[in-house]
Chain A
Amino acid sequence: MERIPVLRMGSLLLITIQVDMHDKLALQLQDDVTTRIAEWGSKGVLIDISSLEIVDSFIGRMLANIAAMSRVLGAETVVVGMQPAVAITLVELGMSLPGVRTALSVEAGMELLYGAGAGFRTGSEDDRPEA
């Protein structure tokens, strides 16, 4: 069964959605994300949907759900790289994803999460020699 990979980047999780989402895949992803956050103690979740061309209300709700679940587990969610057509569709569907933070690119999303608080910094950064 195909699966959307959940990658670990320090204290963040990176999820890149590149295939058409269907119900089973979405539920599997919710399951995976929550398990990984608990397992690895991640503080942030980056969901890259830049290659997603089509969305429906189901995917919109899934994104909102993942964000809400992660927040419960103590992790911030940032959805990055939404295409203009996708954004317009979601607005027309009446889904403004109120609890979800957004960024233009993965880089901007990481900046947003790292900038959000010192709690995100990993131990290795503290070990750096002072400039």
Chain B
Amino acid sequence: MSDLAEIISRNQDQIRADWIRTMGKSVQRPDLISKTELDEQCETLLQAIVAGAKGGDSANIRNAGWSQAREFLEGISASRARQGFSPIEVATFVLSLKQPLFAAIRQDLARGQDKLFEAIWTATELLDGLALVTTEAYIATREELILRQQQELLELSTPVVKLWDGVLALPIIGTLDSARTQVVMENLLQTVVSTNSRFAIIDITGVPTVDTLVAQHLLKTITAARLMGAECIVSGVRPQIAQTIVHLGINLEDVMTRANLADAFALALQMSGRTVVRKASLAAESKGILAGPMNKQES
């Protein structure tokens, strides 16, 4: 086992120079990573491999002896995933070490065929294992990224807007599942408290389907708002959805519902004792404009 460590440490500079050459332009990506940085990474990895091989079992890179190499590889794979390297490029970083390493092994063990084969097999297994580590780390980083974006999307997609003093609107776009209901409910209730609003209009125009589960989530939100002292009006109920609700036997009798947001807003204004009136002077003005030429004609 320590044969490998010995060979690498003896020929380290040669291997590294060859390695960087083998990597070629496609993997080096001079636009994303500088040459000196790449050189440093190669050196650190080689040293970590030497340390791991010295520790003994080179076949099993899950061993504690390889933790340094594994952690280093995971680190650079994660940073490359964020920088925008492709998975092939990240894995080839390790795999391209094969050729120079094999060359060094051949040079050293040219005499004994069996020993040569064994050393090459060990090195292959080792490098494949390390390449898999990079791929795993790459995917994990991407997955984390996706998860975070999902979370952000969840928060972005449930804005609470203030329509009037004491009237909030909550346009829901997309399906309401339980995770989303939680976010929607928290957002709405927080805003109700901070703006001291008595009315909240939940607009479901953007909700593609309403089944019993979605209805239950809606009712939960409405009940929680009512407990705090705010009235909820559900708007944007499409004809198909109204039919579905009745066919499914969902009880929405205690809930105020309207066909569109404008009607719901008018209801909220009316319930808070406000009326919307067209300005009288405007009407008179337009009348005046109309009357103007007519008067002239008459005269």
Interface contacts beyond A87-B225, A88-B186, A102-B226: sample of 16 additional A-B pairs, CB < 8 Å, sorted by A = A79-B227, A79-B229, A82-B227, A84-B228, A87-B189, A87-B224, A87-B228, A88-B185, A91-B220, A96-B223, A104-B196, A104-B198, A104-B228, A104-B229, A105-B196, A109-B229
Which residues of chain B are near A83, meaning CB under 8 Å? 193, 228
* SS class, residues of chain A in contact with chain B: mixed
In whole angstroms, how far apart are the Cα atoms of A81 and B225 in the complex?
11
Q: How large is the interface on A (under 10, 10 to 19, 20 to 34, 35 or more residues)?
A: 20 to 34
In whole angstroms, how far apart are the Cα atoms of A96 and B216 in the complex?
13
Q: Which of A48-80 contact B (CB under 8 A)?
A: 79-80
Kindly provide the distance from the CB of A106 to the nearest chain B CB, expressed in whole angstroms. 11
Which residues of chain B are near A86, meaning CB under 8 Å? 227
Q: Which of B221-269 contact A (CB under 8 A)?
A: 223-230
Is B130's beta carbon under 8 Å from chain A? no
B229's partner among A90, A91, A92, A103 (CB-CB below 8 A) is A103
Which residues of chain A are near B196, meaning CB under 8 Å? 104-105
Q: Which residues of A come within 8 Å of B, CB atoms?
A: 79-84, 86-88, 90-92, 96-97, 102-105, 108-109
Is B53's beta carbon under 8 Å from chain A? no
Chain B 191-206 near chain A by CB (<8 Å), digits 1 or 0: 0110011100000000
The reply to whether A82 and B229 form a contact with Cβ atoms under 8 Å apart is yes
The reply to whether B198 and A108 form a contact with Cβ atoms under 8 Å apart is yes
Number of interface residues of B (CB under 8 A): 18
A-B contact pairs, 13 of them (CB 8 A): A87-B224, A87-B225, A88-B185, A91-B224, A91-B227, A97-B227, A102-B227, A102-B228, A104-B192, A104-B193, A104-B228, A108-B198, A109-B229
Which residues of chain A are near B192, meaning CB under 8 Å? 84, 104
In whole angstroms, how far apart are the Cα atoms of A83 and B192 in the complex?
10
The reply to whether B198 and A90 form a contact with Cβ atoms under 8 Å apart is no
The reply to whether A108 and B185 form a contact with Cβ atoms under 8 Å apart is no
Which residues of chain B are near A92, meaning CB under 8 Å? 220
